Amino acid sequence: MRAGRQTVERRQLGLTLKRLRERAGKTQQDAARALKRDAARISQVETAKGSFSVEELTVLLDFYNADAAERQLVLDLGRQARKRQRGRAYIDQLPRAFERLADLQADAKQIGFYETGIVPGLAQTRKYVTALMHAGDGYWWPRSSAEVDRRVEFRLEQQRRVLDSDDTKQVAFVLTETALHQVVGGRSVLRGQILHLLQLNERSDVAVQVIRSDVPDNPLLGGGLITLDFGASAPRIAFTTSHGTSTYHDQEADVFPMFRAFDRVRDSALPPEETSDLLLAKLKDMT
């Protein structure tokens, strides 16, 4: 079968199937035998170069012992992946969208994070994450201490998937200076968060940069952005962050200016070394 275009939907489907297969302890060859296909077909779908029919997905879901919620999700993803046409952006409205964003981040080779007024998710400490989740409890999901705990652990696990990955990644965090003044969970939590940013900035695979409030012409004011580069000839993806929706862009006409805007804020932000100096000064002010 001729390889198709690597869309967001196909990448989400492939990564979800790969996660279910690995959880079940199955190889691509095992899955191929279950489908009576060759292993290359499994690899093609898992790398976003194709999709499966409903019948094929049903066989694999049985083979992977997927539960009812997982089955419905994968069948919905498969339906999206088989669409021949859609709008220029893809809005992920299926349940647990944050899990599919996590899969994409773990699969990327280079990741850029920009946030206004808050520390980017993969750079947050446990206490900072916990405070944020408690602030959203009862607003973005029905009030539940168990859901708060689950979301905290999920984010920390995602940090490990990206920052402690065996695959080499380059990760850039850019945050506005306002994030250093926004108290989340109390001053001690903010202090611990600033210390964590300093530690991240010592890593060779991570760059932390702060863009000062007095820097003019910031093209990303008022929103967040995640850029995902998968290397080689794979299409790049940009993810715009907002409460309630997950919007992806994978067409180069849209993605190029978003990557360009991210490069602009990196150029406008303090270099990592000067960012560390600013963070140290902030710590001294807090004592």
Q: Are residues 110 and 245 in the same domain?
A: yes
27 within some domain? yes
What the block records as the tokens of 179 is: 């994030």
Mean pLDDT across 112-118: 96
Claim to verify: residue 229 and residue 257 sit in the same structural domain = yes
Residue 92's pLDDT is 85
Identify the band that residue 4 occupies on the pLDDT scale cut at 50, 70 and 90.
Answer: low
pLDDT digits (tens, 9 = 90+) for 25-68: 999 999 999 999 999 999 999 999 999 999 999 999 999 999 99
Res 167: pLDDT = 86
Res. 2 pLDDT band, cuts 50 70 90: very low
Residue 229 lies in a domain: yes
Q: Would residue 2 count as lying in a domain?
A: no
Q: Between these two residues, 132 and 84, which has the higher pLDDT value?
A: 132
The CA distance from 141 to 136, in Å, is 8
DSSP 122: G
**206 lies in a domain?**
yes
User: Are residue 22 and residue 124 in the same domain, yes or no?
Assistant: no
**Domain span holding position 81:** 8-85
Residue 80 sits in the same domain as residue 103: no
Are 35 and 133 members of one domain?
Answer: no
Kind of pairing between the strands at 224-229 and 110-115: antiparallel
Number of domains observed in the structure of the chain: 2
For 213-217, the CB contacts below 8 A with 24+ separation are: 213/176, 213/177, 213/178, 215/268, 215/269, 217/268
Tell me the mean pLDDT in the region 121-128.
97
DSSP string, 174-190: EEEGGGGTS-SS-HHHH
Q: Give yes or no for residue 265 having a pLDDT over 60.
A: yes
Please say which residue of 59, 85, 111 terminates a domain: 85
Which of 85, 110, 135 is the last residue before a domain boundary? 85
Domain containing residue 207: CATH number: 3.30.870
Residue 1, domain member (yes or no): no
C-alpha closest to that of 234 among 107, 112, 74 = 107
Q: Are residues 198 and 273 in the same domain?
A: yes
Q: Are residues 175 and 217 in the same domain?
A: yes
Over residues 175-216, the pLDDT tens digits come to 999 999 999 999 999 999 999 999 999 999 999 999 999 999
pLDDT of residue 234: 87
Q: What does the pLDDT average to over 219-242?
A: 89
- Same domain for 163 and 183, yes or no, is yes
Q: Same domain, yes or no, for 67 and 34?
A: yes
pLDDT of residue 232: 81
Domain-located, residue 268: yes
Q: Is 51 exposed, middle or buried (0-12, 13-18, 19+ CB in 10 A)?
A: buried
SS3 239: strand
Question: pTM of the entire structure?
Answer: 0.86
Query: How far from each other are the two terminal CA atoms of the chain, in whole angstroms?
Result: 64
**Do both 144 and 238 map to the same domain?**
yes
Same domain, 101 and 37: no
β-strands 89-92, 110-115: how paired? unpaired
CATH value at residue 55 = 1.10.260.40
Q: Where are the alpha helices (DSSP H) in the chain?
A: 8-23, 28-35, 39-46, 54-63, 68-82, 97-107, 126-136, 145-163, 187-200, 252-268, 272-286
Q: Are residues 126 and 79 in the same domain?
A: no
Burial category of 102 from C-beta neighbours within 10 Å (exposed 0-12, middle 13-18, buried 19 and up)? buried
- Residue after which a domain boundary falls, among 30, 57, 85: 85
